[in-house]
């Protein structure tokens, strides 16, 4: 399991947090995902054998937000 905190811009409310979390949850191997719009970050815990940071960032982008 790997833990990462991804700097994310563009989230502005609880709805955005939910949206980002739903998109990331679609990936196989996500154990935990918690978005925080106030801090501008998405915390994830994932199985690096099933998914990757790039894929997770791709989902956040697909949800409509920007990652660093
Ligand atoms: Cu929002």
Residues having C-beta closer than 5 Å to ion ligand 1: 12-13, 15-16
Instruction: Measure the CA–CA gap between 13 and 18, rounded to whole angstroms.
Output: 9
pLDDT given for residue 34 in this prediction: 98
What is the chain's pLDDT, residue by residue, as a tens digit (68 residues)? 999 999 999 999 999 999 999 999 999 999 999 999 999 999 999 999 999 999 999 999 999 999 98
pTM above 0.85, yes or no: yes
Q: Give distance in angstroms: CA of 59 to centre of ligand 1.
A: 16
Domains and CATH numbers, the chain: 2-67 (3.30.70.100)
Q: How far is the CA of 49 from the centre of ligand 1 (A)?
A: 31
Is residue 52 exposed (0-12), middle (13-18) or buried (19+ Cβ within 10 Å)? Answer: middle
Q: Say how many Å lie between the CA of residue 60 and the centre of ligand 1.
A: 13
Quote the ligand 1 centre to 21 CA distance (angstroms): 12
pLDDT value at residue 23 = 98
């Amino acid at each position: 399991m790997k833990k990462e905190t991804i700097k994310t811009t563009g989230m502005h409310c609880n709805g955005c947090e939910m949206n980002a979390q739903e998109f990331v949850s679609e990936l196989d191997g996500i154990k935990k995902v918690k978005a925080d719009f106030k801090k501008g970050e998405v915390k994830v815990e994932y199985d690096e054998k099933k998914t990757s940071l790039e894929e997770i960032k791709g989902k956040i982008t697909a949800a409509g937000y920007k990652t660093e």
